[in-house]
Amino acid sequence: MIIAVDGPAASGKGTIARALARHYGLPHLDTGLLYRAVAVSVLREGRDPASEADALAACGFADSLLDDPELRTDEVGKAASVVSAHPPVRAALLERQRSFAQQPGGAVLDGRDIGTVIAPDADAKLFVKATPTIRAQRRHLELRKHGANPSLDKVLADIRTRDERDSHRSEAPMRQAEDAQVLDTSFLSIDAAIQRAIALVEARTRGAGGGAGQA
């Protein structure tokens, strides 16, 4: 079973994707980390995320980089959104994501274009959303936990800029797949959001004749 989970920053898609992977015993890929790895490589080289050539040159990063805590910073998130708008960068990372999705037994992937581009035939597609203010509050809390202290207003402004760039780029913009089920987590606790996600996947896969599996 392939489960695609898309949505904007801090909507809760990663939390939900990890929980679905645990529930169904499937491997999980946070595809945002791939763009973050490109971004951090560009920044460390002192190069420019807005330069297509610089970003493309950074696509051959070592897998060990995916565990680097610096990938989680806000600065890297912003640069990831810039490098991810270059079509050749998306092309360079495409095959890796597709083969992860197509592995025997299935997988859960989260990102911006999983249901539309990476796994358009996924068995279940969730589009996770929440209001920008609530997403900013969540991200603000998260950043504070990791020792950073930006103002809430700045986090909200960054989220809006990232939403705008991610939804309007030419290649694989963030958008809800036509057959995706929307999950608004604005007023759901983490546990409630996870239960709702499982119920949506169950409804979709049972309706399609099974495959929901091992839970």
Ligand X SMILES: Nc1ncnc2c1ncn2[C@@H]1O[C@H](COP(=O)(O)OP(=O)(O)O)[C@@H](O)[C@H]1O
Ligand Y SMILES: Nc1ccn([C@@H]2O[C@H](COP(=O)(O)OP(=O)(O)O)[C@@H](O)[C@H]2O)c(=O)n1
- Check residue 84 for interaction with ligand Y (CB under 6 A): yes
Q: Would you say 106 or 111 has its CB closer to ligand Y? A: 111
Indicate which of ligand X, ligand Y, none lies near residue 166 (CB less than 5 to 8 Å, by partner kind): ligand Y
Provide the 10 A C-beta neighbour count for residue 207.
9
Task: Judge contact between 21 and 5, C-beta under 8 A.
Answer: no
Sign of CA dihedral 177, 26, 22, 80: negative
Task: Judge contact between 126 and 201, C-beta under 8 A.
Answer: yes
Backbone Cα Rg of the chain: 17
Of these, 21, 23, 32, 197, which contacts ligand Y (CB under 6 A)? 32
Instruction: State the binding string over 142-181 for ligand Y (x if CB under 6 A, else -).
Output: --------------------x---x---------------
Helix residue ranges per DSSP H, 12-148 = 13-24, 32-44, 52-57, 74-83, 87-101, 132-145
- Check residue 15 for interaction with ligand X (CB under 6 A): yes
Nearest distance, CB of residue 91 and ligand Y, angstroms: 12
- Check residue 10 for interaction with ligand X (CB under 6 A): yes
- Check residue 113 for interaction with ligand Y (CB under 6 A): yes
Residues 19-58 that bind ligand X (CB under 6 A): none
Tokens at 51, concatenated: 């330069």
Tokens at 42, concatenated: 């560009």
| CA nearest to 130, candidates 188, 186, 189 | 186
Residue nearest to ligand X (CB): 14
Of these, 5, 12, 24, 31, which contacts ligand Y (CB under 6 A)? 31
Nearest distance, CB of residue 187 and ligand X, angstroms: 9
Of these, 3, 11, 74, 117, which contacts ligand X (CB under 6 A)? 11
CA 156 to CA 84: how far, in whole Å? 20
Provide the 10 A C-beta neighbour count for residue 40.
23
Which chain residues interact with ligand Y by CB under 6 A? 9-10, 14, 31-32, 35-36, 77, 80-81, 84, 111-113, 162, 166
Binding residues for ligand X (CB under 6 A) = 7, 9-15, 138, 142, 185, 188-190, 193
